[in-house]
Amino acid sequence: MSSSGIIGESRVNDPVTIVIFGATGDLTHRKLIPALYIAFIQDMLPGKFTIVGFARRDYDDAAFQGMMAESIKEFSRIPTEDEAVERFVKHIHYHKGDISSDAAYDELRYKFEDVERFPENRLFYLSIIPDLFETAVRSLKRSRLVDAPGGKQWSRVVIEKPFGRDLESAISLNNTLLQYLDESQIYRIDHYLGKETVQNILSFRFANAIFEPVFNRSYVDHIQITAAETVGMEKGRGGYYDEYGALRDMVTNHLLQLLCLVTMEAPGDLSAESIRNEKVKVLNAMKLDVRKNISDAVCRGQYGGGMDETGKEIKGYLDEDRINPDSDTDTFTAMRLSINNWRWAGVPILLRTGKRMAKKTTEVAVQFKVPPLQLFQQVQCEDDVCDITRIKPNTLIFRIQPNEGIFLKVGTKRPGMRFVVEDVKMDFSYSGKWRNSLPEAYERLLLDTLHGDSTLFTRSDEVAAEWNVVQPILDNLDRLKPYSYEPGEWGAPEADWLFHGVEGKWRNK
Ligand code: BG6
């Protein structure tokens, strides 16, 4: 099982029943069902498959199918055809039940005796609040809806983040899950790993020989990763977000995963275990770069109210729905890390993420050192008007979204009589090379779970290692009160301080 890592494009052969817990939730509507529909029309799903929506509300199959058809039409990334949508939704079935009630699972088990309609390979997708993970997994085991691995049929369980809220709870959640399931049956989803551009970091680094020799402390000045969003609290999200905040919502998973991919050593092969072993190794070497005080290495922020460019009022975080009015939850977090290994020792690593920032953008920028001898003058020009600037370092930018691509900033002689250097961007963008829209992360990840490929899913020791990196922040929250920042800015300006002693600043682009 879980050994290929490059299955991707092939069709799933095993007949399967996919059960979605939390089937009336947003993720199901926006992502899961549209992703399965696309897999269906691309002929990636097996000949025999059934999708079961499990939730508490009172629907019958027809009503639920109708809702799912609407979701597909609204959220599919490619234009839909009514006839194909109709054919697809016929595979969907609704099961009304309460996740906490044994009877709901027993009824499902009873239903599943019709193996013609409900194939015995089963994928359970837990799109539910984390407090219910344990109940769901225990009940699945008790009712024999999941079997131990190694039998004729397989059972797998997909879990959505957050995997715990600190190191201790993450370890305890792992232990609980492992009481009922084998590690090989658990797929902890981090949708960033399903993004093409994120996977491309590995390909770019290890399929090309020219960059790897300079990816280390001798040549790299610093690395900065930004995941900025313009949205605030989307409808209904406040309750969850106020409990977790930016650090737990984005850093302990997406941002640290991005960092792993840019800094890990090359795996010996592309198997799930080899890749994840390397990620765990580099995670274990990561530390907050605390000199005297933790606030030298961490900056937390919370957005206040303001106006957008059309003059419309933007609510401050504390005025958003379902937010505690005294909350000191972070809607912005920035930090400085170091990686204590031979390759990266001494290279500052800067991460930041936040809501209500200036732009929706996610990127990883590797900034190289400036040349040892400054022979040229650098200029920054607009048409023919140029300013003399300091020599600019080369920067390699992995643009995760939007405008997906890879850019390399280099200095080039500006045409003319004088020997001056201007920055240009060598630019590869996906849209320039491939016309089709990029697959959604969930399309790839769902197919991987059906193939049994766990390369792009987080292993239990990886989750614990991620929490371990940020645990000192969680232990010191009372010393890290969030600074207020204005919506539409680049988060709390105090985060600039994290660059102390570094040649550079946040790329606010
Ligand atoms: C989710 C977070 O995991 O990622 C959200 O819970 C965030 O708060 C989202 O908005 C961002 O994902 P993307 O793919 O839009 O960068």
Cα of 361 from ligand 1 centre, angstroms: 11
Q: Using alpha carbons, select from 439, 442, 438, 440 the residue that is nearest to residue 158.
A: 442
Whether 93 is a known active-site residue: answer: no
Q: Is the CB of 190 under 6 A from ligand 1?
A: no
Q: Using alpha carbons, select from 343, 421, 335, 345 the residue that is nearest to residue 378.
A: 421
Global pTM exceeds 0.85: yes
Q: Is the CB of 404 under 6 A from ligand 1?
A: no
Chain centroid offset of residue 350 CA: 17
Q: What is the pLDDT of residue 1?
A: 40
User: Which residues, including other chains, have CB under 8 Å from residue 330's CB and lie 6 or more apart?
Assistant: 245, 246, 247, 300, 301, 302, 482
Q: Residues 158, 189: contact at Cβ < 8 Å?
A: yes
Q: What is the pLDDT of residue 384?
A: 79
Q: Which protein residue's CA is at the shortest distance from atom 6 of ligand 1?
A: 249
Residue of 160, 254, 332 to test ligand 1 pocket, by largest number of atoms within 8 Å of CB: 254
Q: Which protein residue's CA is at the shortest distance from atom 8 of ligand 1?
A: 249
Tell me the C-alpha distance between 88 and 58, whole Å.
Answer: 22
Beta bridge partners of 503: none
Tell me the C-alpha distance between 105 and 107, whole Å.
Answer: 5
- Look up the CATH superfamily of 16-160: NAD(P)-binding Rossmann-like Domain (3.40.50.720)
Q: Using alpha carbons, select from 65, 103, 55 the residue that is nearest to residue 87.
A: 65
**What are the pLDDT digits (tens) for 278-301?**
999 999 999 999 999 999 999 999
pLDDT in tens, the chain (509 residues): 444 444 446 888 899 999 999 999 989 999 999 999 999 999 999 999 999 999 999 999 999 999 999 999 999 989 999 999 999 999 999 999 999 999 999 999 999 999 999 999 999 999 998 889 999 999 999 999 998 888 899 999 999 998 999 999 999 999 999 999 999 999 999 999 999 899 999 999 999 999 999 999 999 999 999 999 999 997 778 888 999 999 999 999 999 999 999 999 999 999 999 999 999 999 999 999 999 999 999 999 999 999 888 888 999 999 999 999 999 999 999 999 999 999 999 999 999 999 999 999 999 999 999 988 888 888 888 877 888 888 889 999 999 989 889 999 998 888 887 888 888 889 988 887 777 777 889 999 999 999 999 999 999 999 999 999 999 999 999 999 999 999 999 999 999 999 999 988 999 98
Which atom of ligand 1 is found nearest the CA of 249?
6
Q: Which of 93, 191, 254, 451 is catalytic?
A: 254
Which atom of ligand 1 is found nearest the CA of 254?
3
Which atom of ligand 1 is found nearest the CA of 161?
3
- Look up the CATH superfamily of 194-369+456-499: Dihydrodipicolinate Reductase; domain 2 (3.30.360.10)
Q: Is the CB of 363 under 6 A from ligand 1?
A: no
Return the H-helix or E-strand segment holding 140: helix 133-142
Q: Concatenated DSSP letters for 201-260? A: HHHHHHH-TTTGGGSSTTTEEEEEEEEE----S-TT-HHHHHHHHHIIIIIIIIIHHHHH
Domain boundaries, the chain: 16-160, 194-369+456-499
Which atom of ligand 1 is found nearest the CA of 190?
3
Q: Concatenated DSSP letters for 55-76? A: ESS---HHHHHHHHHHHHHHH-
- 194-369+456-499 has the same fold as 16-160: no
- For the range 171-174, what are the long-range contacts, defined as Cβ-Cβ under 8 Å and sequence gap of 24 or more? 171/464, 173/130, 173/133, 173/134, 174/460, 174/463, 174/464
Which atom of ligand 1 is found nearest the CA of 401?
16
Longest dimension (CA), the chain: 83
* Per-residue exposure over 363-386, b if at least 16 CB sit within 10 Å of its own CB, e if not: bbbbbbebeeeeebebbeeeeeeb
**What are the pLDDT digits (tens) for 90-110?**
999 999 999 999 999 999 999
Q: Is the CB of 440 under 6 A from ligand 1?
A: no
Backbone angles phi, psi at 123, to 5 degrees: -115, 120
Tell me the C-alpha distance between 66 and 82, whole Å.
Answer: 12
Angle between helices 133-142 and 102-111 (to 10 degrees): 50
3-state helix, strand, coil in the chain (%, to 5): 35, 25, 40
Tokens of 476: 């010191």
Tell me the C-alpha distance between 332 and 482, whole Å.
Answer: 8
Residue of 30, 77, 229 to test ligand 1 pocket, by largest number of atoms within 8 Å of CB: 229
The number of beta carbons lying within 10 Å of the beta carbon of residue 58 is 8
Q: Is the CB of 249 under 6 A from ligand 1?
A: yes
Residue of 191, 357, 359 to test ligand 1 pocket, by largest number of atoms within 8 Å of CB: 191
Q: Is the CB of 257 under 6 A from ligand 1?
A: no
**What are the pLDDT digits (tens) for 388-440?**
888 889 999 999 989 889 999 998 888 887 888 888 889 988 887 777 777 88
Q: What is the pLDDT of residue 9?
A: 62
